[in-house]
Structure 1
Amino acid sequence: MEPVHKRKLYQEVLDRLITAISTSEFPPGSQLPSERELMNMIGVGRPSIREAMLTLQQMGLIKISHGERARVINPTPEVIVNQISAAMIMLLATSSRGLDELKEARLWLETSMVSLATRNATAKDLEALAASVRELQDARGDQSRFVAADMAFHGIIADMSGNSMIAAVTKGMLDWLSRFKRELVSVRGKERLTIEEHEKIYKAIAAGDAEGASQAMRDHITRGNKLYWQTAEPTQLADA
């Protein structure tokens, strides 16, 4: 028989507040009661209220501004991904397998996502994607601009998927990788390859070829991963 673990008081307060938020007692955009009001409502001291409120803020459920009552945040996928970004970046910096696993996850996610984006593509989406390819071509020789255009291309495809969770996670992965990358996409000879691969992905999407777009994306990301292993130093991370 397992022993009974005594929960801290703030955890009980946290559960009460999460339930109130999830049942729309305090809907997104509304303000929570003041600390004193919550103390009277729940029957606990200020330390437990403050610890519970701080945890809610760390979870991305409320925003605490100085001099104002806490406000409930609409928990969008973007907000949730942003909340875990700091922890993910720390994981990548300290885990020997962290980067490998993230690259594997990105390969799986983006090759599936681009198929969905192809099926959902509108004329406006294709115009934005074509413009992104042109921006990549124009940015050749300007490392920071080139990398930004590269990331923007993948971000547009993520939005084209029509799935806000997929888009948020994909953009989060790109951001996490970019924090550690040595900019190999701008190495001499590699800019041309990156542009050609983006053009191939775009053409497959524009043609409505979901399978071709998925294979082109797989080739693109796999080539980038191989380039990383061939040229990156042990303490540096890369992505193309």
Structure 2
Amino acid sequence: MNFPLFDPPPEGVAPLQPRTKKDQLAQKLLEMIYQGLLRHNDTLPSERDLAAMFSVSRETVRAALASLAEQGLLAVSHGAKTRVLRSETQLQTCARLMPALHSLDIGRYAIEQVFETRQLIESHIVRLAAARVTPQDIEALQRMLDQQAQLFSEVIHFQLADKAFHQKLADIAGNPLLARYAEELYAYGLFFRRELLEGACLVEDSYREHQQIVAAIASGDGDQAAAAMVQHLDSVLALSAAER
């Protein structure tokens, strides 16, 4: 059976981003492969864990993985962990399937510029989130933190959870345009992030900073949430600069 990477849009419509949850998850994983966060032979979390990370059903995860496997980007087999297949051929496949990835070339921007812009956008995102958060959102964020706490020794899996966490904050803020810019900026930093995860004790620090962000949002304190986000991104930038 053939699984298209992205479901076709209605006739005459060219969407700016993938339309379905399956498409969105496939795009997230595709970006991580293209940018080098997910590398050859890396294993992905289980379907259940991916579903929890990205707040989707296991059926959605299964369809997204199948679409990427159909394109030769993942090795999926029953009873074994899903593995990443990343080579020059696969990178060309990524670029063919999603031409917009060319705009995510990390070499085009200095990392300081990326993080300055992330601070501007994501501090406003969490400020909005503090004003708009619901009890259900707070419960979802706490579940994400609980999951992150179990991933200190699984740094790549933690990074997947980290991406889902930042996306959830943008969703709570309720501004799709801000969310789109935040996601693109996050993608710019994936190459540096992989190097950090392998070379520094970043995971537990990120988890504690995530806790501070969630606590501020839950209390409705937008200023504190923004300050916590700026501090979080400052920490990541400082380590990034030290590792280069």
TM-score by length of 2: 0.59
Counterpart CA distance in 2 for 1:188 and 1:99 is 17
State which of 195, 212, 236 in structure 2 corresponds to 1:224.
236
Cα contact 2:192–2:240 (8 A) shared by 1? no
Cα contact 1:158–1:167 (8 A) shared by 2? yes
Cα contact 1:106–1:173 (8 A) shared by 2? yes
CA gap 1:113/1:151 in 2 versus in 1, 3 angstroms: same
CA gap 1:133/1:182 in 2 versus in 1, 3 angstroms: same
Deviation, structure 1 residue 190: 2.5
Instruction: Report the equivalent of 1:71.
Output: 11
Counterpart CA distance in 2 for 1:202 and 1:98 is 29
Instruction: Report the equivalent of 2:85.
Output: none
CA gap 1:225/1:199 in 2 versus in 1, 3 angstroms: same
Helix, strand or coil for the counterpart of 1:75? Answer: coil
Question: Is 1:192 equivalent to 2:204 in the alignment?
Answer: yes
Counterpart CA distance in 2 for 1:89 and 1:202 is 29
Cα contact 1:118–1:208 (8 A) shared by 2? yes
Deviation, structure 1 residue 188: 5.4
Question: Is 1:88 equivalent to 2:118 in the alignment?
Answer: no
Cα contact 1:197–1:216 (8 A) shared by 2? yes
Instruction: Report the equivalent of 1:133.
Output: 145
Deviation, structure 1 residue 132: 1.0
Cα contact 2:144–2:161 (8 A) shared by 1? yes
Structure 2: 5+ residue stretches without partners: 1-7, 20-26, 28-97
Cα contact 1:146–1:186 (8 A) shared by 2? no
Instruction: Report the equivalent of 1:172.
Output: 184
Deviation, structure 1 residue 76: 4.9
1:30-69, aligned counterparts within 5 Å? Answer: none
Deviation, structure 1 residue 138: 0.8
Counterpart CA distance in 2 for 1:225 and 1:104 is 9
Cα contact 2:199–2:243 (8 A) shared by 1? no
Could you list the per-position Cα deviations for residues 148-181 of structure 1 after superposition, in whole angstroms to 9, with x for gaps in the alignment?
A: 1111111100100111111122122222322453
Question: Is 1:155 equivalent to 2:167 in the alignment?
Answer: yes
Counterpart CA distance in 2 for 1:108 and 1:185 is 24
Counterpart CA distance in 2 for 1:207 and 1:229 is 33
RMSD (CA atoms): 2.8
Question: Is 1:144 equivalent to 2:156 in the alignment?
Answer: yes
Following superposition, which runs of at least 4 residues in structure 1 exceed 4 angstroms of deviation? 76-79, 185-188
Indicate the structure (1 or 2) with the bigger Cα radius of gyration. Answer: 1
Q: Residue 222 of structure 2 aligns to which amino acid in structure 1?
A: A
Deviation, structure 1 residue 98: 4.1
Counterpart CA distance in 2 for 1:162 and 1:74 is 23
Counterpart CA distance in 2 for 1:177 and 1:73 is 31
Greater shift in the superposed pair: 174-183 or 108-117: 174-183
Sequence identity (%): 25
Q: Residue 11 of structure 2 aligns to which amino acid in structure 1?
A: R
Deviation, structure 1 residue 72: 2.1
Counterpart CA distance in 2 for 1:171 and 1:109 is 10
Question: Is 1:211 equivalent to 2:204 in the alignment?
Answer: no
Q: Residue 75 of structure 1 aligns to which amino acid in structure 2?
A: P
How many residue pairs match? The answer is: 163
Structure 1: 5+ residue stretches without partners: 1-62, 65-69, 233-240
Instruction: Report the equivalent of 1:115.
Output: 127
Instruction: Report the equivalent of 1:105.
Output: 117
TM-score by length of 1: 0.60
Counterpart CA distance in 1 for 2:240 and 2:184 is 20
